[in-house]
Chain A
Amino acid sequence: MRGRWLALASALFALALIAGARMRRLHEPRFPPLSELKAGPFAFQDAMLAAAGYRAPAADLAWIHLLQYAAGSLPEYADHPGHPYEHLATLSLRVTRLDPSFHRAVLFAAGILGWFHGIERPDEAAKLLHEGMRRTPEQPMYAIYLAALAYKKEGDTDRMIALLESSFDRPETPSTMKSILANLRQSRGEHREALVLWARILESDRDRSEHARARLKIAELRGLLAKPPAKKP
């Protein structure tokens, strides 16, 4: 009787090993090893959550920290005067090291670093995008943003805008990037095109965080479009 349970346990354990090997052969989760997590104020939290099997929730919390930092309310990562968003790349890499499928964190940070008015650090944005591409090469948005940065460096703004607008409705495109694009159109005097972009933001459920600003901008642009064009001297 005793031997029967032991023999059964051994057979079942062998079956579990075979099934485990088959599972691993069919799908290998692509998470960077824990050794890649960098030291910092949230390193313990990240390591504990990842070790307990909660990598996705850990990346979600890191994303909230990234948004808090971008809004200027994360005391653990205070910027030095004259160096706005100096930790943005670090915080976005923290998200992607926890969960490389969190593409929006990299795109969000690259969008701010590459195109945000008064920031414009395209080299830093390109480095970040290369890092994202290394982790998930199948994500097309990284290549699109890198190409757009290249056009920006060449001063070919028309092609840059056209390329960025081609990915406007993709689910990975951050709302911040959409508003940057609409503002870019407005700054070039293309009010009608800017109005269309803000209207598309307002229609999208995913961009709820930008809806309030979209309403204001639409009203502002309608006002500008209603005015008769200034007479040339």
Chain B
Amino acid sequence: MQTISAVFAYTFKEHLRHKAWLSAALFGLVLLGGAIIVSALGADERARLLLDLGLASIELIALVSVVFLTVHLILAEIESRAIYLILTHPVRRSDYLLGRFLGTLAAVALGMAAMAALHLILLSLYGWWEPLRYLAALGCMLGKISVMGALSLLLSLALTSEAAAMAFAVFLWMLGHFSAEMRFLADRSGSSFMKTALVAFSHAAPDFAHFNYRDFWHQAAPGGEWLMWAGVYALAYTAACLALSFQLFEQKEF
């Protein structure tokens, strides 16, 4: 536990000092500014536009940050050979990887929280104030980001190429939002092989379509039990990807 918290603190500080994180945070603020300008064109629906575009900007910046940072996390250390030095210390590989992942996720979550605080202030100025629903949407977004971070880390260790890992991560992000579409196609498919393959694929890929609270909360918003299961889903999926990453990392010979 002490090792994990030490690696966590080191990773968290490292990211906050990193130019990429600061640029992402600044770009997020610029996007929020853009949301104010675009929402001005929405006439009666200004608050809705500011809400949707602001949340989408926060998620987009967090997604880019988490994919970039986690893909880079271990591969950069392998490339610079710093990993040899670190692993000579009495540190379990799984603890090291977990600390690095949690530190990265905390840095991204901090950026999201800062942007969300500013966004919420802007929304309140335009007469929208539903902090509990906003927190629920933000929680679901963090869940998606956590799953994507764990998937990116797994891909970076499996593919050992930053470009390939990032491309696959983006592909999985899209596929995750296609889960409802895949089930729709499976329902209409005449071939039993296609049906089975599509259903299996829709279950194996992260189900972001059902997790996209900020996209469907204008419809009837789901209740507390749904939120609890959404939390279980995000934690279990993230932990499963991390367990596979530990497996791969322990198999690597340095």
Contacts and interface: CB of A to CB of B under 8 A. Distances in A.
Given A29-B209, A60-B49, A34 B181 contact: yes
A16 B177 contact: no
Interface string B208-244: 1111101110111011011001101100110111011
Contacts of A45: none
A145 to B, nearest CB: 16
A53 B215 contact: yes
The binding surface of chain A is classed by DSSP as: helix
B244 A9 contact: yes
Contact of A101 (B43, B173, B184, B219): B219
Contact of B230 (A12, A23, A54): A23
A52 B45 CA distance: 23
Q: How large is the interface on A (under 10, 10 to 19, 20 to 34, 35 or more residues)?
A: 35 or more
B250 A5 contact: yes
A106 B48 CA distance: 16
B246 A100 contact: no
Nearest to A67: B43
A218 B251 CA distance: 78
Nearest to B237: A16
B42 A53 contact: no
A46 interface: no
A57 B237 contact: no
Nearest to B222: A27
B38 interface: yes
Interface in B46-105: 46, 48-49, 52-53, 56, 94
A16 B233 contact: yes
Contacts of A31: 180, 216
A230 interface: no
B173 A52 contact: yes
B41 interface: yes
A9 B247 contact: yes
A2 B174 CA distance: 31
Interface string B11-53: 0000000000000000000000000001001111110110011
Contacts of A5: 94, 243-244, 246-247, 250
Contacts of B46: 208
A40 interface: no
A102 B210 contact: no
A157 B178 CA distance: 48
Given A13-B236, A23-B233, A64 B41 contact: yes
A63 interface: yes
Given A31-B216, A51-B177, A52-B173, 7 more contacts: A9-B244, A19-B230, A20-B203, A26-B222, A57-B52, A57-B56, A63-B42
